[in-house]
């Protein structure tokens, strides 16, 4: 089952990542100053992940592929890792759409 992993940094900030069944990262958040703000970020991912229009598929200067998931206001709420090809990136988008809404938080 997919899970949001809520983490605390050494500096006392918070972030989260959405992991799939194989413990691979689908998206990772920015740093938040409070746990509540990070939890709101998780909720925003759950509310926006099934909307294809919220995904911004990109290519890096190094030739790798990734995507950003954006909230309704256009703010980035999660960024994927880099993928070797477009097919892998697009598969990760589809998986994020499928699992984010029902993922638990750990």
Nearest to 53 by CA among 42, 69, 76, 65: 69
Phi, psi of 36 (to 5 degrees): -60, -40
- 80-104 per-position pLDDT tens digit: 999 999 999 999 999 999 999 999 9
DSSP-based three-state secondary structure for 92: helix
| Position 44 confidence tier, pLDDT thresholds 50, 70, 90 | very high
pTM: 0.93
Residue 11's pLDDT is 94
Cβ atoms within 10 Å of 37's Cβ, excluding its own: 14
Q: What average pLDDT does the chain have?
A: 97
């Amino acid at each position: 089952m997919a899970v949001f992993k809520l983490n605390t940094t050494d500096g006392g900030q918070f972030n989260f990542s959405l992991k799939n069944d194989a413990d691979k990262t689908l998206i990772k958040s920015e740093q938040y100053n409070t746990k509540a703000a990070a939890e709101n970020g998780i909720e925003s991912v759950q509310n926006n992940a099934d909307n294809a229009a919220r995904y911004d598929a990109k290519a890096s200067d190094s030739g790798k592929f990734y995507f950003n998931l954006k909230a309704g206001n256009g703010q980035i709420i999660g960024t994927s890792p880099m993928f070797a090809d477009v097919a892998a990136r697009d598969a990760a988008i589809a998986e994020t759409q499928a699992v984010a809404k029902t993922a638990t938080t750990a």
